[in-house]
Structure 1
């Protein structure tokens, strides 16, 4: 393609000849030094128009071996001109000025009409400039109003009623206000409604914006509210049945489930799996048992297969299938584990993106830390300890994961500091739970913390009695019930 273009550029028409003659660059340079190629040997004007683009300017290259290139100055000027003449009025005025220049270019003919047209164009442009100046002044006056003025104007304005009009907007009920003023005021007052409400709420209730000071791009603080609003909907869709033991299962009971999960806690701790793997494993087990009748001989196989799936989903380097077989003392073969893995995935339709209690707990811990000048490590460990206790208890399936996470924060704050109420407007705002709504789950969680039922499953309790977790399992507090009676 490039060679064809160069051949066309190096082809000229010799004098008195009808066929093209190819010349070399040296000959072209020599002809240029003698005054250039004779006019008769240049291509016709129409052919030159086809080769040249009307909107692009050219410049000669400094290097003689390089072809001429199109400069960017012409393109920038063209773009600026298009942006400058964006309105229809300006386009019409430009068309009139072009017609006038055409009249003047015809050897002085129709000069009188051209002068009349030019006079009309100038007057039209002045009118347009005047109108634009007035509109810009109005816009600037409107834009100069701050949020405080907008709030004052909103309080003083009469109530508006929606009336059908061409623009599809709302007209003011006050007949003294014009349509334009009402539309402009609507744009000002309705656009930042959400921001104004947030400012009012934060000013009146003392709500702290936990996402404003985060600089880490991996936290996604800008999208955090939308993300957690979305997963609050998802937790309803992908939660297990709360009574599958009574309605479906016949050979297993809640105690067997608790023993299985207590053993999986030890396995996850031994292989140093992330907490999300454990929470997802329990979720997969409960969802599978909610729809599939299982015998007690295969219950451990279900748990191992679910942990294998969760490890593949959450871990960077998941344990191999042979390691999961070794966990069961080779009770199950590799083929049996893989077959159960396939069965679980197909029954659950490969829906593994599930919001667990840990998902909400991360957010709520961040909210709770706002009330401390220095982040409280004990609060984080204690909240994690309380939520892990709920994994073993079948009765906690009746509570939503977000409710369990909020209750863990409530009880953890009360355990660490009993001089003030553990719930504040910031926690209520971000969790969407008021203190009375947490009563049942907090009281049930308090029973787990105190181990009132003398549960013999101690894997989680022994784990959080270690020094690296600040021994939060040994902490206790005053009864929390009086907080809900006041």
Structure 2
């Protein structure tokens, strides 16, 4: 007991306690006084680990597993987010403040966004005119049980079933706005004739078959030719140059792998050079205002053929080939510029159905609904198309007839329609 009392009164050592000094104390029978450091008296929690190189405390490491709940951060600056990430101990305390601030910012921004959206819708309705004949969507036509719904197939994304009615209403507007002048031979051209134009189109049909171009490319080619001739005078020596240039532009627009300029120069027996084709290409693009898209007959023909076969269990390839053949014949004939592309497409379907089947009326209620034409509206065009089909045998331009007289097109080029009675209209 005495030794212990002496040891407790010894006070603290003037120097650091090492293992050598501790051994000396044990040999002499004395123990050094145990005194806690001053900084440990005020410390509330024990230090888990000591790492002088770490700036973040161990308490922060324990709380790192707790994540802030995801909340609405609309209109909250990123600076606040970064600060809350680095100061994890204050996240829970700032939740309510951030939520209040976000609600205030949303209420301030919402009226201006709604007003801006209202202005955009107001301008959009003024900039696009309504078509003269607007086809009603199918829910209105559902009242008539004789009209089939051709837009109920939502599995094929290329049909655009949800927007088909709006798409074709817009095409009807643009077929009027982007229509070539039907009298350009009399008003603009003095060196070329209608027969020269027909020879050019007949040759371009052979070129499209040679390079396996699509029908959209062929129709767009003829459209670009007529559009350019409606606004620019051209000599007959450059008419073929215009034809291959328009087909080059149409190929670039429609085809995946378009023929090269050298291919079109070669097909003309190198009559024109690459520089001449490029120069003509620039002139055609400037003349069209760089607006290459325009509704053609093939744009409406696909839609009308779909309506014509709505009640059929399987599509008729013969009907499609014959309608395409009749529509293609109109490309060579200059007088058909007086008719709209939608009218020509509807008349081609009308005459094709009558040629294949005379047992029933070719114009069904479904066709009348989706084509937006009555049978009486098509009388002039159908009769003109029938005359063209009957007189094609004596025409020297045989590219289209030879094309559709092949086995792959079921020889529809050799078919002749019976006479149409007046009761059909």
Whether TM exceeds 0.5 here: the answer is: yes
The equivalent position to 1:459 in structure 2, one of 399, 409, 412, is: 399
Within 5 A, what are the aligned runs for 1:87-486? 198-199=138-139, 201-204=141-144, 206-451=146-391, 454-484=394-424
d(CA) in 2 for partners of 1:317 and 1:483? 48
d(CA) in 2 for partners of 1:467 and 1:27? 91
* C-alpha deviation, 1:204, in angstroms: 2.9
Gap regions ≥5 residues in structure 2: 1-38, 52-57, 75-135
Distance 1:292 1:16, change over 3 A: farther
* C-alpha deviation, 1:24, in angstroms: 8.8
d(CA) in 2 for partners of 1:410 and 1:356? 18
The equivalent position to 2:49 in structure 1, one of 17, 20, 26, is: 26
Distance 1:69 1:398, change over 3 A: same
d(CA) in 2 for partners of 1:320 and 1:454? 36
Name the structure 1 match of 2:119: none
* C-alpha deviation, 1:295, in angstroms: 0.6
Q: Deviations over 1:99-155 (max 9, x none)?
A: xxxxxxxxxxxxxxxxxxxxxxxxxxxxxxxxxxxxxxxxxxxxxxxxxxxxxxxxx
Question: May I ask how many residue pairs the two structures share in their alignment?
Answer: 318
d(CA) in 1 for partners of 2:47 and 2:223? 80
Name the structure 1 match of 2:68: 70
Q: Deviations over 1:79-102 (max 9, x none)?
A: 9xxxxxxxxxxxxxxxxxxxxxxx
Query: Is this contact kept in 2: 1:364–1:409, CA < 8 A?
Result: yes
The SS at the match of 2:310 is: helix
d(CA) in 1 for partners of 2:187 and 2:140? 49
d(CA) in 1 for partners of 2:398 and 2:351? 20
Query: Is this contact kept in 1: 2:138–2:149, CA < 8 A?
Result: no
* C-alpha deviation, 1:197, in angstroms: 8.8
For normalisation by structure 2, the TM-score amounts to: 0.70
* C-alpha deviation, 1:474, in angstroms: 1.2
* C-alpha deviation, 1:71, in angstroms: 3.1
Query: Is this contact kept in 1: 2:249–2:281, CA < 8 A?
Result: yes
For normalisation by structure 1, the TM-score amounts to: 0.61
Query: Is this contact kept in 2: 1:443–1:481, CA < 8 A?
Result: no
Name the structure 2 match of 1:83: none
Q: CA RMSD in A?
A: 2.8
d(CA) in 1 for partners of 2:370 and 2:386? 23
